[in-house]
Amino acid sequence: MPSDSQHKPAAGGFNDAQSHWDQRFSRPGLLFGEQPNRFLEREAARLAPGSRVLSVADGEGRNALYLASLGHRVCAFDISPVAVAKARELGAQRRLQVDWHTSSVDDWDWARSRWDAVVAVFVQFADPAMRRRMFEGMWESLEPGGLLLVQGYTPRQLEFRTGGPGKVEHLYTSSLLRELLPRAEWLLLREYEDELSEGSAHVGHSALLDGVARKPA
Protein backbone atom coordinates (compact mmCIF):
# COMPACT_ATOMS: atom_id res chain seq x y z
CA MET A 1 0.00 0.00 0.00
CA PRO A 2 1.34 3.47 -0.78
CA SER A 3 2.65 5.07 2.33
CA ASP A 4 2.56 8.71 3.16
CA SER A 5 6.17 8.56 4.21
CA GLN A 6 6.79 8.48 0.45
CA HIS A 7 5.92 12.13 0.43
CA LYS A 8 7.94 13.07 3.48
CA PRO A 9 8.58 16.77 2.89
CA ALA A 10 12.15 17.79 2.54
CA ALA A 11 13.62 19.01 5.79
CA GLY A 12 15.59 21.70 4.04
CA GLY A 13 15.96 23.11 0.59
CA PHE A 14 16.46 21.96 -2.96
CA ASN A 15 19.00 19.22 -2.31
CA ASP A 16 16.95 17.39 0.32
CA ALA A 17 13.84 17.39 -1.85
CA GLN A 18 15.81 16.44 -4.92
CA SER A 19 17.57 13.50 -3.32
CA HIS A 20 14.34 12.31 -1.69
CA TRP A 21 12.53 12.24 -5.06
CA ASP A 22 15.57 10.95 -6.98
CA GLN A 23 15.65 7.99 -4.62
CA ARG A 24 11.97 7.26 -5.18
CA PHE A 25 12.28 7.56 -8.97
CA SER A 26 15.46 5.42 -9.07
CA ARG A 27 13.45 2.24 -8.63
CA PRO A 28 12.62 0.31 -11.80
CA GLY A 29 9.36 1.19 -13.53
CA LEU A 30 7.31 4.34 -13.29
CA LEU A 31 6.20 5.41 -9.82
CA PHE A 32 2.96 7.04 -11.00
CA GLY A 33 2.52 4.82 -14.05
CA GLU A 34 2.59 5.44 -17.79
CA GLN A 35 -1.03 6.42 -18.18
CA PRO A 36 -2.00 10.08 -17.87
CA ASN A 37 -3.85 11.29 -14.83
CA ARG A 38 -7.59 10.72 -15.32
CA PHE A 39 -8.60 14.24 -14.28
CA LEU A 40 -6.25 15.59 -16.94
CA GLU A 41 -7.72 13.22 -19.54
CA ARG A 42 -11.23 14.43 -18.67
CA GLU A 43 -10.39 18.12 -18.71
CA ALA A 44 -7.88 18.34 -21.57
CA ALA A 45 -10.75 18.81 -24.02
CA ARG A 46 -11.02 22.38 -22.70
CA LEU A 47 -7.65 23.27 -24.29
CA ALA A 48 -7.64 24.89 -27.69
CA PRO A 49 -5.70 22.97 -30.39
CA GLY A 50 -1.97 23.63 -30.28
CA SER A 51 -2.06 25.25 -26.82
CA ARG A 52 1.18 26.23 -25.10
CA VAL A 53 1.08 24.21 -21.88
CA LEU A 54 3.36 24.13 -18.83
CA SER A 55 3.26 21.00 -16.66
CA VAL A 56 4.60 21.77 -13.18
CA ALA A 57 6.47 19.08 -11.21
CA ASP A 58 5.61 16.65 -13.99
CA GLY A 59 7.62 13.69 -12.62
CA GLU A 60 8.32 10.92 -15.11
CA GLY A 61 6.42 12.56 -17.93
CA ARG A 62 3.06 10.79 -18.11
CA ASN A 63 1.03 14.02 -18.20
CA ALA A 64 3.33 16.14 -20.37
CA LEU A 65 3.56 13.33 -22.92
CA TYR A 66 -0.20 12.89 -22.96
CA LEU A 67 -0.64 16.60 -23.71
CA ALA A 68 2.04 16.42 -26.41
CA SER A 69 0.24 13.43 -27.94
CA LEU A 70 -2.83 15.68 -28.30
CA GLY A 71 -0.76 18.10 -30.35
CA HIS A 72 -0.12 20.75 -27.68
CA ARG A 73 3.23 22.53 -27.33
CA VAL A 74 4.38 21.33 -23.94
CA CYS A 75 7.06 22.42 -21.50
CA ALA A 76 7.55 20.45 -18.27
CA PHE A 77 9.83 20.64 -15.28
CA ASP A 78 10.54 18.67 -12.13
CA ILE A 79 13.03 18.90 -9.30
CA SER A 80 14.28 15.34 -9.90
CA PRO A 81 16.85 14.83 -12.68
CA VAL A 82 16.19 11.10 -12.40
CA ALA A 83 12.50 11.64 -13.18
CA VAL A 84 13.29 14.05 -16.02
CA ALA A 85 15.71 11.52 -17.57
CA LYS A 86 12.98 8.86 -17.46
CA ALA A 87 10.51 11.31 -18.99
CA ARG A 88 12.91 12.14 -21.83
CA GLU A 89 13.43 8.46 -22.53
CA LEU A 90 9.68 7.76 -22.61
CA GLY A 91 9.23 10.75 -24.91
CA ALA A 92 11.91 9.45 -27.26
CA GLN A 93 10.30 6.00 -27.31
CA ARG A 94 6.94 7.57 -28.18
CA ARG A 95 8.51 10.07 -30.60
CA LEU A 96 6.90 12.98 -28.78
CA GLN A 97 8.43 16.43 -28.29
CA VAL A 98 8.39 18.11 -24.87
CA ASP A 99 10.66 20.89 -23.66
CA TRP A 100 11.98 19.22 -20.47
CA HIS A 101 13.70 21.03 -17.60
CA THR A 102 15.05 20.17 -14.18
CA SER A 103 14.07 22.84 -11.67
CA SER A 104 12.51 23.45 -8.31
CA VAL A 105 9.29 25.47 -8.33
CA ASP A 106 11.17 28.12 -6.36
CA ASP A 107 13.88 28.41 -9.04
CA TRP A 108 11.53 28.32 -12.02
CA ASP A 109 11.31 31.61 -13.92
CA TRP A 110 7.54 32.02 -13.99
CA ALA A 111 7.80 35.28 -15.89
CA ARG A 112 9.85 33.75 -18.70
CA SER A 113 6.93 32.74 -20.90
CA ARG A 114 3.19 32.92 -20.97
CA TRP A 115 1.09 29.79 -21.22
CA ASP A 116 -2.39 29.01 -22.48
CA ALA A 117 -2.64 26.41 -19.74
CA VAL A 118 -0.71 25.39 -16.65
CA VAL A 119 -1.15 21.86 -15.26
CA ALA A 120 -0.44 21.03 -11.61
CA VAL A 121 -1.30 17.42 -10.80
CA PHE A 122 -0.40 16.26 -7.28
CA VAL A 123 2.06 19.04 -6.52
CA GLN A 124 1.37 18.73 -2.80
CA PHE A 125 5.01 18.58 -1.76
CA ALA A 126 4.58 22.32 -1.11
CA ASP A 127 3.98 23.58 2.40
CA PRO A 128 1.66 26.61 2.72
CA ALA A 129 4.38 29.20 2.10
CA MET A 130 5.81 27.41 -0.95
CA ARG A 131 2.30 26.67 -2.19
CA ARG A 132 1.42 30.37 -2.12
CA ARG A 133 4.56 31.26 -4.10
CA MET A 134 3.87 28.45 -6.57
CA PHE A 135 0.23 29.40 -7.14
CA GLU A 136 1.20 33.06 -7.58
CA GLY A 137 3.83 31.98 -10.12
CA MET A 138 1.48 29.69 -12.02
CA TRP A 139 -1.20 32.39 -12.15
CA GLU A 140 1.29 35.04 -13.23
CA SER A 141 2.57 32.82 -16.04
CA LEU A 142 -0.89 32.28 -17.59
CA GLU A 143 -2.06 34.33 -20.54
CA PRO A 144 -5.30 36.22 -19.89
CA GLY A 145 -8.01 33.71 -20.76
CA GLY A 146 -5.64 30.84 -19.89
CA LEU A 147 -6.54 27.82 -17.76
CA LEU A 148 -5.00 26.39 -14.61
CA LEU A 149 -5.76 22.68 -14.17
CA VAL A 150 -5.19 21.39 -10.63
CA GLN A 151 -5.73 18.04 -8.99
CA GLY A 152 -4.82 17.14 -5.43
CA TYR A 153 -5.91 15.28 -2.33
CA THR A 154 -8.28 16.77 0.24
CA PRO A 155 -7.91 16.36 4.04
CA ARG A 156 -10.25 13.31 3.95
CA GLN A 157 -7.34 11.51 2.29
CA LEU A 158 -5.75 11.28 5.74
CA GLU A 159 -8.40 8.61 6.51
CA PHE A 160 -7.59 6.59 3.40
CA ARG A 161 -3.79 6.92 3.21
CA THR A 162 -3.65 5.56 -0.34
CA GLY A 163 -1.14 8.17 -1.51
CA GLY A 164 -0.19 11.78 -1.03
CA PRO A 165 1.40 13.72 1.80
CA GLY A 166 0.35 12.75 5.31
CA LYS A 167 0.18 16.37 6.46
CA VAL A 168 -3.09 18.23 6.50
CA GLU A 169 -1.47 21.57 5.71
CA HIS A 170 -0.35 20.22 2.32
CA LEU A 171 -3.87 19.15 1.27
CA TYR A 172 -6.48 21.14 -0.68
CA THR A 173 -9.98 22.32 0.00
CA SER A 174 -12.16 24.34 -2.35
CA SER A 175 -12.04 27.31 0.00
CA LEU A 176 -8.24 27.17 0.15
CA LEU A 177 -8.02 27.28 -3.65
CA ARG A 178 -10.52 30.13 -3.86
CA GLU A 179 -8.41 32.01 -1.36
CA LEU A 180 -5.15 31.25 -3.24
CA LEU A 181 -6.59 32.43 -6.58
CA PRO A 182 -8.97 35.26 -5.71
CA ARG A 183 -9.30 36.49 -9.31
CA ALA A 184 -10.02 33.07 -10.83
CA GLU A 185 -13.18 32.20 -12.64
CA TRP A 186 -13.75 28.60 -11.54
CA LEU A 187 -15.03 26.45 -14.40
CA LEU A 188 -14.76 23.39 -12.18
CA LEU A 189 -14.07 23.06 -8.46
CA ARG A 190 -15.20 19.89 -6.77
CA GLU A 191 -14.25 17.57 -3.95
CA TYR A 192 -15.15 13.90 -4.33
CA GLU A 193 -14.00 10.35 -3.72
CA ASP A 194 -12.81 7.89 -6.34
CA GLU A 195 -10.58 4.88 -6.88
CA LEU A 196 -7.11 5.72 -8.16
CA SER A 197 -4.69 3.38 -9.87
CA GLU A 198 -1.59 5.39 -10.74
CA GLY A 199 1.53 3.23 -10.72
CA SER A 200 2.42 1.98 -7.26
CA ALA A 201 2.12 5.32 -5.47
CA HIS A 202 -1.53 6.35 -5.83
CA VAL A 203 -3.61 3.22 -5.42
CA GLY A 204 -7.03 2.79 -3.88
CA HIS A 205 -9.92 4.78 -2.53
CA SER A 206 -8.95 8.46 -2.54
CA ALA A 207 -10.31 11.86 -1.51
CA LEU A 208 -9.71 14.25 -4.38
CA LEU A 209 -10.16 17.81 -5.53
CA ASP A 210 -10.40 18.81 -9.20
CA GLY A 211 -10.07 22.43 -10.20
CA VAL A 212 -10.09 24.29 -13.50
CA ALA A 213 -9.59 28.02 -13.07
CA ARG A 214 -9.76 30.55 -15.89
CA LYS A 215 -7.71 33.76 -15.75
CA PRO A 216 -10.05 36.58 -16.78
CA ALA A 217 -9.22 38.01 -20.19
Binding site for ligand SAM (CB under 6 A): 17, 21, 32, 37, 57-59, 62-63, 78-80, 83, 104-105, 121-123, 125
Question: CB-wise, 59 or 146, nearer to ligand SAM?
Answer: 59
Give least dist CB 82 to ligand SAM, A: 9
Are the C-beta atoms of residues 156 and 74 closer than 8 Å to each other? no
Question: CB-wise, 37 or 49, nearer to ligand SAM?
Answer: 37
Are the C-beta atoms of residues 56 and 77 closer than 8 Å to each other? yes
User: Rounded to whole angstroms, how far apart are CA atoms 107 and 36?
Assistant: 26
| Gyration radius of the chain's alpha carbons | 16
Question: CB-wise, 52 or 62, nearer to ligand SAM?
Answer: 62
Residues whose CB is less than 8 angstroms from the CB of residue 36 and which lie 6 or more positions away in sequence, other chains included: 62, 63, 65, 66
Give least dist CB 83 to ligand SAM, A: 5
Give least dist CB 37 to ligand SAM, A: 5
CB closest to ligand SAM, residue no:
59
Give least dist CB 55 to ligand SAM, A: 7
What is the 3 state secondary structure string of 166-214? CCHHHCCCHHHHHHHCCCCEEEEEEEEEEEEEECCCEEEEEEEEEEEEE
Question: CB-wise, 7 or 214, nearer to ligand SAM?
Answer: 7
